[in-house]
């Protein structure tokens, strides 16, 4: 029977919220040994942006620490003190952007979620992994709370401290399992790729990702989505609350489809009438009116320019040979992923498979396919595993009779 983990072994550490206490933590963690467990809590769905509102760490010889990055916004001193250590994170790509903002950037890392995927675990959430690998049950009741709350309630702090309590133990067990499966070198290449990846570029035209956007067909309607999205973003940023709490995506799409003529018509739409003041309604109607007044040449173009291949559903008509290649390649990758007991997307990204199938090398051989995969960012272990199974698929070059 799994054992419930109810209390951190050293009790709940005090929240570090001043420079003197932070200096003590930095000294303690610099003097600690081995990997350092790192986690961060954000206030997604409550606040604007993805900043960290609590940072948790644990290291042998230093114990656990809970740091308030609102009171101590510059943690670059801590980042530097841990520069030589391996950082252990669960789902690293989720936390690295907010850690980077406060000056914490690892040079080496071990991602326990990704390790679980590569090792073939069916469930890779932290709770499931700690239970399945270490035999302890973590209480996961506070993951979606508003971490910008001050002071943070004690049950939340207990939960936060427990998140890093067993992370290094989990890392050690997963390292053994990956080694047993002959995948440890593969995992290390994946971790190195995450650690060395540059910060992502800001998304172009983020308003196009409004939920329900597929219903919006006409350019004038798209302009309404853009204007409302930008007006909402400005309000959300100023008030530091989640954009969805200012105005829902469904309401934005509804207004775009209806093109309301005045505030009364807008108030009758879903998402606008209920408890919304006259001033707010006027502000949204102004955005709609701005979009309606735009000259045609300033309206957004439908869709973003596609840099890669067309959607696979269009392949059969556009290029039946490429479509045949893709069917064969997907089947081969799927079979290999099953043999290696890992998700297909961790073996090779679906986008890479599509690109190589749409535009294979002029001369298809092991060297050219390997070079194409590497050119799309595949790691050496992926190139080595995938090249032999892709080759037969890419050789399909004539239409089936």
Q: Is 398 a residue whose pLDDT tops 90?
A: no
pLDDT tier for residue 305 given thresholds of 50, 70 and 90 = low
Global confidence as pTM: 0.92
pLDDT averaged over every residue in the chain: 94
pLDDT tier for residue 67 given thresholds of 50, 70 and 90 = very high
Please, are residues 271 and 191 in contact by the beta-carbon 8 Å criterion? no
In 112-176, where do the E strands start and end?
136-138
Question: Chain centroid to CA 379: how far?
Answer: 20
Q: Is 136 a residue whose pLDDT tops 60?
A: yes
**Digit-coded pLDDT (tens) for 168-197:** 999 999 999 999 999 999 999 999 999 999
Which residues, 6 or more positions from 238, have their beta carbon under 8 angstroms from its beta carbon? none
- Beta strands at 3-5 and 136-138: parallel, antiparallel or unpaired: parallel
Q: Is 295 a residue whose pLDDT tops 60?
A: yes
What are the backbone dihedrals phi and psi of residue 14, each rounded to the nearest 5 degrees, phi first?
Answer: -65, 150
What are the backbone dihedrals phi and psi of residue 194, each rounded to the nearest 5 degrees, phi first?
Answer: -70, -45
Q: What is the pLDDT of residue 144?
A: 85
What are the backbone dihedrals phi and psi of residue 329, each rounded to the nearest 5 degrees, phi first?
Answer: -65, -45
Of 113, 217, 247, which Cα lies nearest the Cα of 174? 113
3-state DSSP of 284-315 = HHHHHHHHHHCCHHHCCCCCCCCCCCCCHHHH
Q: What is the pLDDT of residue 400?
A: 45
371-381: b or e for each residue (b if 16 or more CB lie within 10 Å)? Answer: ebbeebebbeb
Please, are residues 57 and 164 in contact by the beta-carbon 8 Å criterion? yes
**Digit-coded pLDDT (tens) for 37-51:** 999 999 999 999 999
The mean pLDDT value for 370-399 works out to 92
Please, are residues 167 and 37 in contact by the beta-carbon 8 Å criterion? yes
């Amino acid at each position: 029977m799994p054992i419930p983990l109810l209390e951190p072994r050293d009790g709940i550490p005090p929240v570090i919220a001043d420079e003197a206490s932070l200096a003590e933590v930095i000294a303690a963690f610099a003097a600690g040994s081995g990997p350092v467990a790192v986690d961060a809590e954000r206030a997604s769905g409550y606040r604007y942006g993805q900043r960290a509102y609590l940072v948790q760490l644990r290291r042998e010889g230093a114990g656990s620490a809970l740091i308030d990055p609102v009171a101590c916004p510059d943690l670059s001193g801590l980042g530097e003190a841990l520069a030589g250590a391996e950082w252990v994170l669960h789902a690293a790509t989720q936390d690295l952007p907010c850690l980077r903002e406060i000056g914490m950037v690892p040079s080496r890392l071990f991602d326990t979620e990704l390790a679980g995927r590569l090792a073939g675990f069916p469930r890779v959430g932290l709770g499931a992994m700690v239970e399945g690998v270490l035999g302890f049950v973590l209480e996961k009741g506070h993951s979606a709370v508003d971490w910008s709350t001050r002071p943070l309630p004690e049950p939340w702090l207990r939960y936060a401290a427990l998140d890093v309590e067993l992370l290094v133990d989990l890392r050690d067990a997963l390292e053994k399992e990956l080694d047993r499966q002959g995948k440890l070198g593969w995992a290390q290449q994946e971790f190195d790729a995450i650690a060395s990846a540059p910060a992502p570029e800001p998304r172009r035209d983020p308003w196009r990702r409004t939920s329900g956007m597929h219903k919006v067909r006409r350019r004038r309607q798209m302009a309404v989505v853009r204007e409302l999205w930008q007006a909402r973003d400005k309000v959300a940023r100023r008030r530091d609350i989640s954009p969805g709490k200012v105005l829902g995506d469904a309401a934005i799409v509804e207004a775009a489809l209806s093109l309301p003529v005045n505030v009364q018509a807008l108030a009758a739409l879903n998402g606008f009438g209920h408890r919304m003041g006259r001033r707010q309604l006027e502000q949204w109607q102004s955005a709609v009116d701005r979009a309606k007044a735009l000259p045609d040449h300033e309206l957004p173009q439908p869709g973003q320019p596609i840099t890669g291949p067309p959607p696979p559903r269009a392949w059969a008509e556009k290029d039946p040979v490429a479509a045949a290649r893709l069917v064969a390649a997907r089947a081969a990758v799927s079979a290999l992923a099953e043999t290696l007991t890992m998700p297909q997307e961790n073996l090779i990204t679906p986008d890479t498979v599509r690109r190589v199938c749409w535009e294979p090398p002029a001369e298809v051989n092991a060297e050219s396919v390997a070079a194409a995969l590497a050119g799309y960012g595949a790691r050496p272990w992926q190139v080595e595993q995938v090249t032999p199974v892709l080759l037969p698929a890419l050789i399909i070059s004539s239409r089936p009779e």
